[in-house]
Structure 1
Amino acid sequence: MEKYDIYLVEDEENLSEVLKAYMQKEGWNVTVFDNGDAAVDAVADKPHLWVLDIMLPGTDGYQVLKAIKNEEDTPVIFISARDQDLDRVLGLEMGSDDYLSKPFLPQELIIRVKKILNRVYGSSTSDVQKVELNAYTIDPIGRTIIDTEENNEAVDLTTKEMDLMLLLSAEIGKAFSREKIIEHVWGDNYFGSERAVDDVVRRVRKKMPRIHLETLYGYGYRILSS
């Protein structure tokens, strides 16, 4: 079982204890913060996922989310009991990956967390093979890409850039629509323009100049072997 690190930011002690217990039953390592300032101080730890309340003493959830996304594109589930529509839109626009409105069942959070962990970090089975492509070694299990022409240095990609590369490199030559890419990289709750895909592609091309990442105008993208 994969030992994921989950950071839960929730100032309601009873709720945080219940949610922590449910997540620990899944085998995850759960760290709880009861205020936004402590959460911001822990952003550099780079856990696998944040579960983040909006209403917090001190630094609020929006500022914590901003700090998380400034550090790395770690997935975040927003939770709130305030104006649901407004919080959902603002949270998704700022980069949260999912949203839950209070009250909710702990089992619902577990389902959402599992879905995001599976989407972002994928399968942990040993039969997933590394991909050698244009002097890059792509490791889907470790979520790393090594540049063998540059002293075996790791290519520094954000979570969404890595998700895009793992999706396209898993099936060389297959065309993926922007809609399919959004579904895989951003998830079902994405609320924004398909142009976000183009921005991620542009950044990947800059960081991995030897990758033949082809544009299919009016449709999407694919990676070719040469």
Structure 2
Amino acid sequence: MLVAVEGIDGSGKTTTAAELVAVLGSQHGVESRLIDKREPIVKSVYVNEHLRALAAVIWNPDPDAPIEMLGGNHWGYLHAAYLSALAESVRRGQFGSSGAGTFVVDGWLGKLVARMSTNAGETTDTVEEFFSRVPRPDLTVLIDVDPEIVAARRAGKVSTRGERGALGQGDNGDFIAYQSLVRARLLERAATESWFVHRPQEDDSPADVAAVLARAVVQVG
């Protein structure tokens, strides 16, 4: 079973995904494994090197590189190739011999589709069609957090160009405006594709959120 944790930038996806694996084991007896998309570790040396090379290109570009010159399709195809290979590695049991039958990943296509459609001014359906051959997770869970709350948590942190999209060059105002558009598209996909949506309280810890998500995983699994 492949579970994807989605949400806007700064919503706590990465921390919650790790907590979800821990809670599934400690509270539900479900053996699961966290897949680090940026540094995957699989049994095949060839596949491992291939995945890591793609990941390095996708997620570790020079911050000053003019990545927009390559166009959205270029980056979309790279993501499609990477996620397809990752899903195939899960299907072939390449993620170790621990016996884990549930795999948790921080993000799949959700935020990517939301960002690409927002940046290009296209519908999410159009961008989803672009990724039509990419395998989907068995369950997608959306951590729905207001961008204003995220911005307050990140006070003093400089937003990246990707986090601001095409709306501006710097402050949290631009972050809030762009992430509000991304969030709206994530909620649209959640309704269309029957994702599990959880809206945390402001004082909820990642463990609190993971406990809610774990119950959803167990119910589906």
- TM-score class normalised by the smaller sequence: 0.3 to 0.5
Higher relative contact order (CA 8 A, sep 6+): 2
State the TM-score, normalizing by the size of structure 1: 0.34
State the TM-score, normalizing by the size of structure 2: 0.34
Rg (Cα) greater in structure: 1
> Whose helix proportion is higher, 1 or 2?
2
